[in-house]
Amino acid sequence: MPTHALRGAFGAFALALCTANAHGAVAQRTFVASTGVDTNPCSITQPCRSFAAAMLNTAPDGEVIVLDSAGYGPVAIAQHVSIIAPPGIYAGISVPGPTPGIAINGSRVVLEGLTINGTGGTVGVSATTNSEVYINDCAISNFATAIDLDASQLFVNGSEVRDISAAGLSAAAASLAIISRTTFANSAIGVRTDEAKVTIVETTMTGGTTGVHVGVSAGKTDLVAIHRSLIAEMSANGINVTAPGAGSTSNVDVLGSTITRNTGNGIAVNTTTPGTATVVVADSQLTMNGYAIQGDLGTGTSTALSNRNTIGGNVLGGLKAVNAGVIHTRGNNSGEQINATSGTTLVPGF
């Protein structure tokens, strides 16, 4: 084909694309702005005003880009997409009602640089039906539940969750969550699990009721790892571990973390039903709590206190255990005496 014919064909193709977009075709990259209009095609020169309108104009695996600071409204997402606010731009979502600020259903979604604020709403971000969600550098505040995870995967990094009346993260129904470099402040419960695998790394939880609550339903399993993190200033327990149903199993691994100044206990293990709870603590500091670790241990339950922990300055003592159960301890934990009563067995090593 001659060169001029190729140019003519390309020009006709480009014109067709422009015409299609003007009549409602989706684009790989769309834009929102404070001066946008939702009847626009959401292009960079004709941006939309809301995330909801941009979603209608964005192709699967596409991106919604925020151009300037404003509030852009709640959005429901049922396709793979990224919503990105560049550094220095405030991209707000105010949530006045029962519908979540961002509702994700069966999609892979990246949320970056967003501020999600409850103004009467109950859930900041919900993810269901095998969704895969990445939350980077976001702030979520003033909800009953900041993030509600159900049968999905979640990856949170560099974010802030604060002023939450129920749970910063509620993870259930075989969900998986990895949380890193994130702050949970003034949340009744920082992270709550029921049948979930959760890893918490380099994260701070402070000023709530309980930092991490592990409580799995009958016949289910929780696996929780807390590494190089701080849990402090809780009005109840820093970490609360239960296995409240027959055949339920809660496994918690605490490594290199500081659990301090919690009014209740640093770690509480309360399993008096047929469930099983095992807590392993290593290379950590448990100071200035009620008890460092208190266990009310039921049949088949053990509290495992591993080596190289520092236990000191706790108001009531080091580790206190009652009822039937087994406590494993190593001699090179420094600090307070470990005591057992009411038929609990001490095993000096494992």
Q: Where are the domains of the chain?
A: 26-193, 209-350
Q: pLDDT (tens digit, 9 = 90+) per residue, 213-228?
A: 998 888 899 999 999 9
Average pLDDT over residues 68-84: 98
Tokens standing for 285?
Answer: 């500091």
> Is 67 strand, coil or helix?
coil
The pTM for the full model equals 0.88
pLDDT range class, residue 62, cuts 50, 70, 90:
very high
Tokens standing for 262?
Answer: 């919690």
Q: Is the pLDDT of residue 31 over 60?
A: yes
Average predicted confidence (pLDDT) for the chain = 86
What does DSSP say about strands 91-95 and 123-128: parallel, antiparallel, or unpaired?
unpaired
What φ, ψ does residue 136 adopt, rounded to 5°? -120, 130
pLDDT range class, residue 280, cuts 50, 70, 90:
confident
CA atoms within 13 A on the CB side of 267: 30
What φ, ψ does residue 6 adopt, rounded to 5°? -60, -45
- What is the reported pLDDT for 126? 98
- What is the reported pLDDT for 336? 57
- What is the reported pLDDT for 4? 41
Which CA distances in Å does 84 have to 111, 229, 306?
Answer: 6, 28, 43
Spatial distance between the Cα atoms of 243 and 177, rounded to a whole number of angstroms: 20
Q: Is the pLDDT of residue 324 over 80?
A: no
Q: Which CATH number fits domain 26-193: 2.160.20.10, 3.40.50.300, 2.40.128.30, 3.30.70.980?
A: 2.160.20.10
Q: pLDDT (tens digit, 9 = 90+) per residue, 225-270?
A: 999 999 999 999 999 998 887 888 899 999 999 999 999 999 988 7
Better pLDDT: 70 or 243:
70
As a whole-number percent, the residues of the chain with pLDDT over 90 amount to 67
Average pLDDT over residues 25-30: 94
